[in-house]
Every structure is written in structure tokens, then in C-alpha cells.
Amino acid sequence: MSGFSRRRLLGYAGAGVALAGAGATAGVLATKESPEVENVAAAKVPFRGDVQAGIITPAQDHMHFVALDVKTTSRDELIDLLKQWTVAAERMTAGQEAAENGAVGGNAEAPPKDTGEALDLPASALTITIGFGPSLFDDRFGLKDKRPAGLIDLPRFPQDDLDPARSNGDICIQACANDPQVAVHAIRNLVRIGFGRVAVRWSQLGFGRTSSTTRSQATPRNMFGFKDGTRNIKAEDTELLKEHVWVTKEDGPDWLVGGTYLVTRRIRMHIEIWDRTSLSEQEQIIGRTKGEGAPLGQQKEFDEPDLHVRGAGGVPLIGEVSHIRLASPESLNGARILRRGYNFTDGSDGLGHLDAGLFFVAFNRDSRKQYVPMQQALSTKDEMMEYVEHTSSGHFAVPPGVKEGGFWGDTLFR
């Protein structure tokens, strides 16, 4: 199979969908022996499990993220919607339409139940992940007592420039896939199912994953041109995941055990100004070399940063205010997060610049002890703050995985 190019395989899997009408699995699974094929962009990721997919799943190349406000005031209607979403989401992650005979083949006098743009496309490793924002836990649905203590309203960080219209939300849904059309199709159809009960508050497209979440993935680069997330927690680091990502019984509440907290930050980068900055200054701000991605003072990307190496005049090589020093577990009492962000370019800003940056997505076990102190250190001291602006923010409790027969968030509504 070694001569099997990714493009050809995609085509093959795509044909599988058309023929089988149901899923891309057949074509892909048949070739599972080859490691090259195992990573194939078209594969299916199981929807159900102990934890939700889309967190430690190998980061896909594209993302569509949406935050919704719940419009119905009926708890039953909300639960009903979560059940409908679960069915549609499970189908779509299997490479199927949102409903049976959804796009064509239904009643010709009715609008199709599936919007159709993902017909003929393989599952593309689609994962769909749901989270609940602090605002859901008010009087409307009797959830006030269930709000996790860790689901705080994030504090205002110095230099925040948040747009309330694209921050927060009652519910968030993250769709990640190796084909952008598949991710957008998923969000579009879930939003459509929700009309009348939920309304879109804001959404964000991301291209180009900026994190690797498994050891087999190469570290990608962000819009500053630097490798990003070299020291990220990886799917293989089971112990680290337990310590830093998954909510335990002791943490509570019970409904969130096996879940996690999701932080989103839309970070606009002033890339034009960054591009006028000398290479040595860029490397000094990050604390790594641009090419190899080695920590300053070391030689290889995965060499551990040594915060105690000093250069001429006794000046620290990894500067006191460099990004990797401030964000390092060593500087934060061991706090770490699982990052899963994406690059974005949302057109232009009307002043002749690209509106580009990083849609930062991170999962952690307790944002109060992990993300918040990290961001406080960064927004106060990081030299990089001169080149970025946080324009949107979100904090969500991500429930555990859906078991057989269960639905999204069933532990919360029990």
C-alpha cells in the first residue's frame, strides 16, 4: 500500500460512500495494516466512548466552532434537542447524512433533511464535541445547582479587547474534520435542527491545526511561522491526561466526571507588524528558534527548555518575558493544558490588514488552576502581547462521552 497516495485513497473512500450510500468505513478499514493508511484523512472516529471525541483525537486539519444561545425556556424541549443532535452527530461522524435519505430520496415536496454539501465526501475523521457555558446554569432549566464550581466566568485579563457578541454562549459545538466542508456541514445541520430552540451566537472557522495531540503528528506552525504546542500533552500521555485534563470524582460534580473544561480565545495577531520584526527578536519573544523549533540554548525541537542557561553578560537565553518561559509548567507550579487550536483568517480589518490569528482552544481539568494563572502571566508579561489581541472568549464544561443508548449531556439532565 505504500504507493497509495492520500489523494487516491480519498477518492477511493469517497467512491465507497457513493456505492454503499452509508459510510466510508469499508474502503478505509480494509487497508488498516499500513501505518500510513491508519492516519488517513478520511477515516471514521467513533462517536461514543468514555470521553467525547475531538479532545485527544489526533487533531484534524480544519475546524468549525459554534456557540449558541438557548431560546426555548422548556427543559423538555432542550433535552429533546440534545437527543436529536446526538442522532444526527453520530450519523455524520460515520460519514452519513444527518438523517436517513436526508439529502435526496425523501419526500420531493419537502425540503431535504440534510443540506447535502457533504454528499460523496468521506467521514474525514469528523468529530463533534459539545460543551455547556456558565449562562446555561441559570433558572431556566433548573440547572442552577448543577453548575460546576470550576465553570467560572473567566476574569478580565489585562489587555483583553473582547467583543461580547462573539464571546461566551449557553452551548458550544466544536466540529473538527480533515475536510473543511465536512466540518461546516456538521455545524450547519446541527444549527438547522436547533432552529427555534437555539440560535447561533457566534461561530469561528479554523484552518490549519496549530497543535499536535499525538506523538505521530508533526508539530504544526501558527501564523507567526513558529511551531506551536511542542510541549503539548499528547494522547499517549495517559497519566498527564488524568492529572491535567479529565475531571475526577473528587473534583466533581458527578455529572462532569470524565469530562473537562474548554477554553476558547480568538487571538487576533498583528501579523503585518510581526512580519517586520527581525528574526532574532521573533525568536527571543517566543523563546525558540524558528526553523527547528528548538528552545533557545538547545539544539532540537524536543530538547527540554532549560530556563537556567544564560548567555553573554548573564542574560537568560530564554528571556524572562519570553512566551515559552511564562507558559512553561516550571513557571506555573506544574500547570499544563491540552491545546487544540486552529489558525484563522477572517477576511480583512478594513484598514488594509488581514484579520488573522489563532483560535485558541484548550482543555483542562480546572481552568482556575491551569488556564487562568497561565493567561494572567501571559497577558501581564508576555512580549508577544504587543503583537496579539484577544477578541473573543469562551468557557464551557464538556460532559463525558456518550455511552451506548445515551445522549449528549445525559449525565447533566438525569
Partner 1 sequence: MRKAVVILGSLAVLAACSGNTTNTASGAIPVEASDDACKVAKTEASTGTVTFEVANKGTKVTEFYLYAEGDRILGEVENIGPGLSRKLIVEVTEAGKFQTACKPGMKGDGIRGDFTVKGDSKKSTEGDALLAEATKSYQRYVNSQADQLLVKTEEFVNAVKAKKVDDAKALFPVSRIYWERIEPVAESFGDLDPKIDGREDVIAEGMAFTGYHRLEKDLWESGLQADSEKIADQLLVDVKEIVAKAKAVELTPVQLANGAKELLDEVATGKITGEEDRYSHTDLWDFRANVDGSQAAIAALRPVVEQKDKALASTLDVKFKALDEALEKHRKGDGFKLYTELSKDEVKALAEAVDALGEPVSKVAEVVSAK
Which residues, numbered 308-347, are part of the site for partner 1 (CB under 8 A)? 308-317, 319-320
Position among 267, 285, 362, 402 found at the interface with partner 1 (CB under 8 A): 285
- State yes or no: residue 158 binds partner 1 (CB under 8 A): yes
- State yes or no: residue 291 binds partner 1 (CB under 8 A): yes
All three cell numbers of 222, joined, read: 501558527
Residue 366's nearest CA partner among 246, 257, 265 is 246
Contacts of 406 (CB under 8 A, 6+ apart): 48, 86
Position among 19, 26, 199, 273 found at the interface with partner 1 (CB under 8 A): 273
Position among 32, 215, 353, 403 found at the interface with partner 1 (CB under 8 A): 353
All three cell numbers of 181, joined, read: 466542508
All three cell numbers of 44, joined, read: 471514521
- State yes or no: residue 93 binds partner 1 (CB under 8 A): no
**Residue 236 or 349: which CB sits closer to partner 1?**
349
**Length of the chain measured in residues:** 414
**Residue 69 or 160: which CB sits closer to partner 1?**
160
Q: What are phi and psi of 173, to 5 degrees?
A: -130, 125
Kind of pairing, strands 260-269 and 388-398? Answer: antiparallel
> Rounded to the nearest whole angstrom, what is the least distance from the CB of residue 88 to partner 1 in the complex?
41
> Rounded to the nearest whole angstrom, what is the least distance from the CB of residue 208 to partner 1 in the complex?
24
Task: Say how many residues touch partner 1, by CB under 8 A.
Answer: 46
Rounded distance, CA 84 to CA 90, Å?
A: 10
Rounded distance, CA 247 to CA 255, Å?
A: 10
Residue for grid cell 457533504: 118
Triad 258, 260, 266: Cα angle to 5°: 160
Position among 2, 5, 107, 280 found at the interface with partner 1 (CB under 8 A): 280
All three cell numbers of 335, joined, read: 500547570
**Residue 249 or 308: which CB sits closer to partner 1?**
308
Contact range with partner 1 by CB under 8 A, out of 73-81, 197-205, 248-256, 302-310: 302-310
Contact range with partner 1 by CB under 8 A, out of 69-77, 143-151, 153-161, 196-204: 153-161
CA 337 to chain CA centroid, nearest Å? 12
Under the rule (CB under 8 A), what is the footprint of partner 1? 158-161, 270, 272-273, 276-281, 283-285, 289, 291-292, 294, 296-299, 306, 308-317, 319-320, 350-353, 376, 379-380, 383, 386
